[in-house]
Structure 1
Amino acid sequence: MDLRISHPTRSVSGEISVTGSKSESNRLLILQALFPGIEISNLSNSDDTRVLLKALASNEEKIDIHHAGTAMRFLTAYFATKSGREVVLTGSQRMQERPVKILVEALKSLGADIEYVKNEGYPPLKIKGKELSGSTVTVASNISSQYISALMLIAASLPSGLRIRLSGKVTSVPYIEMTLSLLKTCGINGSFSGDLITIDPVEKQSPAEMTVESDWSSASYFYSIVALSEDAKISLASYKESSLQGDKSVAGIYKQLGVKTVFNGEIIHLSKTPFKKPATLVLDLSNSPDLAQTIAVTCLGLGIKCDLTGLHTLRIKETDRLQALKNEMEKLGGEVRITADSLHFVPSKELKSGIKIATYNDHRMALAFAPLALKVPLEIEDSEVVSKSFPGFWEDLRALGFSIENTAIG
């Protein structure tokens, strides 16, 4: 379904409750499957988390995780450890084009039995679960932190635990630190120092009650709304000032774009404040690449030049996010140059109105571009794609006064 979006006043206020972080939820679900004493509350209601829940509960020989990249990485490691279980792990056509070789080779070096069903290095995977005998592995760390987190999550269930040696510049360090912190909160000992991660084995994990913090990448779209508004006051629940999520950096970034953040318990209050536009917004987003689309579109709406780097992982997401951003931002106005790991935007004098935004089966394209309707009316193709991470997004925008119509009506 395509949606036509606008905002009649450009003044925004409201209270929004965002469900649990997809990143935290999916890590905790793997740990719960390995150590059933863990109880979880405030799980994400995203498609990715529902897919993972279904896969963990399934007894089928073939498991299809559709577009859920996190589920593919985490389940590959999980099923490799399940003695006596055989499964073919597959996904959408795009998922079958996303590389998984680094993780598979790491698991094989620990003794895993994994075969490629179609193309070398890519899903689908045929996995025969067994007890993994290895205790040390080296992983290239400049591709995706999810490979490393997948290994960390199974580490405590291995007879000798696991020592993970990282090779190369580490990508998305906050996600590794999030995984380690969740392990520790669940009673699993581990450390991350320099290029070495060490996780101790656990024979019996003590009961633990875990509450998932709300998702900071979902919060980023409301930061964009405040930045693009003429006047705004939005409250978001439930967030921690001492968050495990790397995307909490959105608060500091958007301070440069006129958004004030005030913490009050587990509520954050966002408001529009006067600010001087930076000549160029220069950011290294290697630790928070999921913010790139939101920030780029905000700069488009505010007419601010930006240079965003550290974006090499965006090429292998639901789509090539750098190319998709270039395509859609240039429709609206301005010039975008991309490299293998960066995006450089120069604004035009005005935004084009009524443009239809393609979403490329990527939830973050729809989520990132929607706030721009505060500046110009626009259309979002395939709006249901937001369910991958934020199913209630359109309802939340209506609650903030956005006009949202199905383009098939009138």
Structure 2
Amino acid sequence: MKKGHVDQRARSPWTPLKGVHSVTVAPGERVIDGEVTIPGSKSLTNRAFIMSALAEGTSTLKGFLRSDDAYWCIDALRKLGVAIDVHEDEARVHGTGQNWKSDSLYIGAAGTVARFLPGSLVTAAQGEWTIEASESMTKRPVAPLIDALRALGGEITHLEKEGHYPLKIKGKPLQGGTVDLSGKISSQYISGLLIAGPYFQTPLQITITDHIVQHAYVRLTLDLMEAFGATVSYDDALQTMNVSPSVYKPQALTLEADASTACYFFGLAALNEGRVRVTNVTAETKQPDIGFLTILEKMGCTVIRGESYVEVQGPKQLKGGFDVSMREMSDQTLTLAALAPFADGPITISEVEHIRYHESNRIKVIADSLTKLGIQVEEYNDGLKVFPGTPKAAKLDTYDDHRVAMSLALIGTKVAGIELTDPGCVSKTCPSFFELLASFGVEVEEKV
């Protein structure tokens, strides 16, 4: 995504900041001290929607995330003939058992839909679809997934650039068998193939040829598949996974809150010698970003892990002077990079080369942004090193990337005059992010 360019088509009607050009974030007069309830998990929401749509019968999903990604997932499923009733954060999905209608689909910038839907379409008995995506999504590779589906007999055509969206897919019954797949760029390729696994005519075996960048997200997929009645088996390292032919069964589920979103509010407490309790996330979640709590403790924070909540209390001075691999919780790379200038020693982040292929080249973007703020940064192929310093006021681009926007906003809670363009990009994960930030007394000024 080019600096300053926004693909407005990808903004759904659920975007509260549509038409807002920028926001300025500044410290408030109040001490950061309070509670917050976080929206539902992005990771679980679209997994659950697609499995519910594949089931025959009605599933009820409570606590789903009302975000751009969920909107485009629901929109695509409705065009496929799946009736979905939505009331606030509860949805009733009337699954059609893969009896999809042919249509042209648009999925916005929803990476989960881009990786989870093709397998579910290509294994359908019949139907043809074209799938378009946002400008940023067309730059993100999908070749490993598409190559694996083609190796299993799937008919998928890249309409423009090979290995990228847009796609044309033709459904037909497919045999299973053994297929090799890389997991070093995105675990979502693996999840996309797994989700479709029960709908192959014979057992499917997936062999990982290298390493998985985030094992926990694959385990989330496997757990949810089992909750929907699929039969799966796998080794501890997830190097080989097997799926037996079956059908998903309708379920009534309450989805967890989003641990990744919670981390920004834990970071808010950490930066401001404050106290933030997230009321609907627990340390027992299998979402990998909850591991960020251990890093905050290393930085001097006090973490209270309650039965139904997690609370973080920030120290007088954040501690640095350490190296850390963020591979298994790479979505928090930018959060840590935003905290790092305020630590008492440099922090080196490694093993996150794959985030260069997310909504933006996240390593480069955060390095450039911190440099613009006057912070010394060393950029590496697989990470970066951030040195202590005092950020200065600046206008920063968010590159149509929700995690860039939310991480840089944290700096604004300590430094007056941080202006962020295109704040609406946060609606991909947490449409109410700036509203929730303001509830703690942080100054948030919108500009149209």
Whether the TM-score (by the shorter chain) exceeds 0.5 is: yes
The partner residue of 1:318 within 353, 356, 359 is: 359
CA distance in 1, matches of 2:137, 2:189: 15
AA aligned to 2:382 is D
What's the secondary structure of 2:266's corresponding residue?
helix
SS at 2:312 equivalent:
strand
| 1:98 counterpart residue number | 140
Moved more, 6-15 or 141-150: 6-15
1:133-282 → structure 2 map (5 Å cutoff): 133-193=175-235, 194=237, 195-203=239-247, 205-230=248-273, 232-273=274-315, 277-278=319-320, 280-282=321-323
In the TM superposition, what is the alpha-carbon distance from 1:39 to its structure 2 partner?
Answer: 2.8
Matched residue SS, 1:163? strand
For residues 36-67 of structure 1, the C-alpha deviation after alignment (integer angstroms, 9 at most, x for no partner) is 45432110112111111111111462212121
Residue of structure 2 aligned with 1:66, choices 84, 93, 108: 108
Q: Quote how far apart the aligned CAs of 1:207 are.
A: 4.1
**What is the deviation of 1:276?**
6.6
Q: Distance in 2 between matches of 1:126 and 1:343?
A: 38
Mapping 1:347-362, distance limit 5 Å = 347-348=388-389, 350-352=390-392, 354-362=393-401
Give the whole-Å Cα distance in 1 for the aligned partners of 2:252 and 2:65: 16
Deviation, 1:146, is 0.4
Amino acid at match of 1:228: L
Tell me by how many angstroms 1:98 deviates.
Answer: 1.4
Counterpart in the other structure of 1:14: 34
* Equivalence for 2:412: 373
User: What is the alpha-carbon root mean square deviation over aligned residues?
Assistant: 1.7
| 1:78 CA displacement | 1.7
Output aligned runs, 1:383-394, within 5 Å.
383-394=423-434
Provide the C-alpha distance between the structure 1 equivalents of 2:397 and 2:344, rounded to a whole number of angstroms.
21
Letter in 2 for 1:338: E
Q: CA deviation at 1:219?
A: 0.7
Counterpart of 1:287 in 2: which secondary structure?
Answer: helix
Q: Is the contact made by 1:333 and 1:347 (CA closer than 8 Å) also made in structure 2?
A: no
Picking from 55, 69, 73, the partner of 1:52 is 73
CA shift, 1:298, in A, is 0.7
User: What is the identity percentage for the equivalent residue pairs of Structure 1 and Structure 2?
Assistant: 30
Q: CA deviation at 1:108?
A: 0.9
CA distance in 1, matches of 2:361, 2:161: 20
**Counterpart for residue 83 of structure 2:** none
**What letter is aligned with 2:275?**
K
Alpha-carbon separation, structure 1, partners of 2:167 and 2:39: 31
Distance (Å, rounded) in 1 between the aligned partners of 2:414 and 2:291: 25
Q: Taking structure 1 as reference, are residues 138 and 257 closer, same or farther at Cα in structure 2, changes over 3 Å only? A: same
Distance 1:160 1:76 in 2: 19
Distance 1:355 1:26 in 2: 36
Give the letter aligned to residue 442 of structure 2: F
Measured at CA, do residues 256 and 69 of structure 1 come closer, stay the same or move farther in structure 2, by a change above 3 Å?
Answer: same
CA contact (8 A) 1:298 1:372 kept: yes
Deviation at 1:339, TM superposition (A): 2.3
Distance in 1 between the 2:107 and 2:41 partners?
19
CA contact (8 A) 1:214 1:237 kept: no
Q: Structure 2 unaligned runs (5+)? A: 1-20, 81-101
Separation (CA, whole Å) in 1 of partners of 2:381 and 2:313: 35
C-alpha displacement at 1:10, in angstroms?
6.2
Code of the residue aligned with 1:137 in structure 2: it is: V
How much has 1:103 moved relative to structure 2?
Answer: 0.6
Query: TM-score, with normalisation over the residues of structure 1?
Result: 0.94
* CA distance in structure 2 between the aligned counterparts of 1:229 and 1:10, rounded to whole angstroms: 11
Partner of 2:446: 406
